[in-house]
Amino acid sequence: MKPRNCREIREWIVEGKSGTPLNDNQWKAIQRHVAKCGACRAFQQDVSRVLAALRKTDPLPESFFEEIKTNILEAVAPKTLRRQSPTPGVLPWLRALFSRHPLWGPIASGAFGVMMGFALATALPRLGEKAVRLAGNSALSLTANVSGPSSGPVLDIGNVSAAEIEEYMGSEALLDFLESQGSASSLEIGDLPDLFLTPQQNKTG
Amino acid sequence: MEKNEETQLVAAAKKGQRDAIGSLVERYEREIFFFIYKMTGNMEDARDLTQDVFIKVFRKISGFNGRSTFRTWLYKVATHHTLNFLARRPPGGSEKALEGLPDPSPTSLERIVRADLRHHIRSAIQTLPRQQRAIVTLRALEGLRYMEIADILGCSVGNCKAAYHNAVAKLRKRFKNETQKLPGNP
């Protein structure tokens, strides 16, 4: 009976010292047992010292772990950042800006596309029955189709609504101008920049 | 660290967010380092293996499904990586490196004796079979439950428990032999 009891008590001692929660009855049984069993008392002391010595960790300078962290990040983070970044290779501040506001990328691309459309339109020698399709990285495209009143819409610009035309192109100035040119088979593109950029001046001037 | 907070960090780390990866490294690098150090007995090896383990973990983090905790998963990778390393290392390779960590308290005799005991215990760990070494380190040092250790090592809870008790008995025996040799002991 006693050896079996000692074995059970030692198991509890090891478990208790290793962090396994023991109930009150188990702790009391251990205390009662080691009070009268010298071998198990010695076992308990030894195990306590062994486990305490095992757990003891030596201090290391903070720089030691900082270096480990830096090495890990250098190996891991650049790769994942490249995957995450919407615009690799651009300036860091721009990358940070786009990562904080994901919609800014498409919006900026769209705006850039519209601006480029205007710039290209000014460079074209003639416009009638021509389409100018401008696209940035976004899906936004702009098509201007100018013709006489009998042959369809005066101005057809892709997915852009009439409200947007008013907002971006200076009220009704452009449409007025195009209607006034409706009988012509073609439109002098050289007139358009002033109209786009300073519609009021164009009207008044 | 709250479990929710850790879950968020892991989710952010999956997206490659550097801050989240850094936070997780800061949280666990010390315990993983000391775990590996106690398994290998070599500071240089422990540092390199710690880096390897974290790099491996973050490169495969998309495959982490949250079935276990991130910590348990980390220990799983660390344990297998270290056991593989130990299997390849020639025997006796750790003897010199056990002196790698500086002893911050060499002034009083009591501290010297205590440090000496630690040294003997660590030497004793190196004499255990690799699997037992892993179990002792995970259970006694890192406080993992048998269920977690069984998951990490791919064995039964009963086997883990038996191996642990067996290892503690061996360490105790070695400890008694060593302490009897220390000055002041009869």
pLDDT digits (tens, 9 = 90+) for A124-159: 544 444 444 433 333 333 334 444 444 433 344 444
Helices (H) and strands (E) in chain A, counts: 10, 2
Residue type, B4: N
Q: Which of B92, B172, B178 is nearest to B140 (CA)?
A: B172
Q: From B33, which residue of chain A is nearest by alpha-carbon distance?
A: A65
Q: Which residues pair with A141 in a beta bridge?
A: A135
Q: Any idea which residue has 């790099």 for tokens?
A: B55
Which residue out of A20, A54, A55 would a mutagenesis test of the B interface target, given it has the greatest number of B Cβ atoms within 10 Å? A54
Here the contacts of A14-20 (C-beta below 8 Å, separation 24 or greater) are: A14/A47, A14/B164, A14/B165, A14/B168, A17/A47, A17/A48, A17/A51, A18/A51, A18/B139, A18/B140, A18/B143, A18/B164, A18/B168, A19/B139, A19/B143
The pair of structure tokens assigned to A20 is 């396994």
The confidence score (pLDDT) of residue A64 equals 92
What separation in angstroms does the CA of A99 have from each of A85, A109, B181? 7, 15, 64
- Residue B74 is predicted with a pLDDT of 94
Between positions 26 and 55 of B, the ones with CB within 8 A of A are 26, 29-30, 33-34, 38, 47, 50-51, 54-55
A3 min Cα distance to partner chain B (Å): 16
Among B16, B59, B121, the residue with its CB nearest the CB of A53 is: B121
**Residue B32: closest C-alpha in chain A:** A65
Residue B106 has what pLDDT? Answer: 47
Contact flag B140-A49 (C-beta cutoff 8 Å): no
Point out the residues of chain B with pLDDT beneath 50: 95-99, 103-106, 186
Are the C-beta atoms of A65 and B186 separated by less than 8 Å?
no
CB distance from B22 to chain A under 8 Å?
A: yes
Distance CA B144, CA B164 (A): 12
Partner-chain contact B16 A75, CB within 8 Å: no
Chain A residues near residue B118 by CB distance under 8 angstroms:
53, 56
Interface of A with B in 12-31 (CB under 8 A): 14, 18-19
Task: Provide the number of CB pairs (under 8 Å) joining chain A to chain B.
Answer: 103
- Name the residue of chain A whose CA is nearest to B101's CA: A58
CB B74 within 8 A of CB B53: yes
Q: What is the pLDDT of residues B33-86, one digit of tens each?
A: 999 998 888 889 999 999 999 999 999 998 898 888 999 999 999 999 999 999
